[in-house]
Amino acid sequence: MVEDLVQRFGRLDGLVNNASTFFATAMGRISGRDWDALVGSNFKAPLFLAQAAAPYLKVTRGAVVNVSDIHGSRPLAGFAVYCAAKAGLDGLTKALAIELAPEVRVNAVAPGPVEWPEDGTFDTQTRQEIINHTLLKRTGCSADIARSVLFLLAGAPYVTGQILAVDGGRSAHL
Ligand SMILES: NC(=O)c1ccc[n+]([C@@H]2O[C@H](COP(=O)([O-])OP(=O)(O)OC[C@H]3O[C@@H](n4cnc5c(N)ncnc54)[C@H](OP(=O)(O)O)[C@@H]3O)[C@@H](O)[C@H]2O)c1
């Protein structure tokens, strides 16, 4: 994918690892397939994409932004594999910041509640409880995340190895 992209555009300035699989994993019934899907998209792919992109990002002094989750550092009950995968991504963010310095900056955005899963994972009461637990008493929107990603990609030349929570203050008192 990275090779195709560089052939087409001639350069690479940034990598945003956003793609993710999200579903609950009940202890006692976690399968290898669950692990592969959750760890594959949330942890493994960002590493191998960053590795493939690194030589090109070094040339342009580009940046990597990983889209994590506040539950990477404060696990959500019932989602152990997803949370552990995001915790891995948080660790990877800091490790890659070291590995790719000084040419490439690596940071993460950790969203709180932004867009509810469409599969009914969170019922109305749970959604309200989560919103009540934010300091700003509302969900965020995708533009909140996009603005933060753009900031870390292009507007923060002296920031690397950081994880920015964009969560209406939910993680401040979880
Ligand atoms: N929504 C929230 O409130 C929230 C909260 C915290 C963190 N986040 C994080 O924010 C990011 C975006 O979340 P979202 O809510 O926008 O997710 P989403 O609507 O579920 O979209 C996920 C995207 O990832 C792609 N994807 C999943 N597995 C993939 C795979 N194996 N290979 C390639 N693409 C794959 C999906 O592609 P297909 O459509 O083709 O399957 C989809 O485009 C994620 O990293 C998520 O963990 C979101």
DSSP H or E segment with residue 107: strand 105-111
pLDDT given at position 108? 99
Strand-strand pairing, 63-67 and 105-111: parallel
Q: Do residues 122 and 130 touch, judged by C-beta distance below 8 A? A: yes
The whole model's pTM is what?
Answer: 0.97
* pLDDT at residue 174, as a whole number: 79
Q: Which fold has domain 12-173?
A: Rossmann fold (3.40.50)
- Distant-in-sequence, close-in-space partners of 76: CB < 8 Å, separation ≥ 6: 82, 83
User: Helix or strand or coil: residue 88?
Assistant: helix
Measured distance CA(87)–CA(81) in Å, rounded:
10
| Burial of 77: CB neighbours in 10 Å, binned 0-12, 13-18, 19+ | exposed
pLDDT digits (tens, 9 = 90+) for 113-132: 999 999 989 999 999 999 99
Encoding tokens for residue 132? 């009540």
Distance (Å) from CA 20 to ligand 1 centroid: 4
* Residues whose CB falls within 8 Å of the CB of residue 81, separated by 6 or more in sequence, listed in order: 25, 30, 34, 35, 38, 39
Residue 22 CA, ligand 1 centroid: distance in Å = 7
Nearest CA to ligand 1 atom 17: 20
pLDDT digits (tens, 9 = 90+) for 135-173: 999 999 999 999 999 999 999 999 999 999 999 999 998
Amino acid sitting at position 171? S
Q: What is the pLDDT of residue 173?
A: 87
- Answer whether 167's CB lies under 8 Å from 113's CB: yes
* pLDDT > 90 fraction of the chain, expressed in percent and rounded: 98
- CA-closest candidate to residue 85, choices 6, 93, 131: 93
Tens of pLDDT, residues 61-81: 999 999 999 999 999 999 999
pLDDT band, very low/low/confident/very high, at 39 (cuts 50, 70, 90): very high
Nearest ligand 1 atom to alpha carbon 41: 31
Domain boundaries, the chain: 12-173
| Pocket lined around ligand 1, Cβ cut-off 6 Å | 18-22, 40-41, 67, 69, 111, 113-115
Distance 19 CA to ligand 1 centre (A): 4
Torsion angle in degrees (nearest 10) through CA of 21, 27, 29, 30: 40
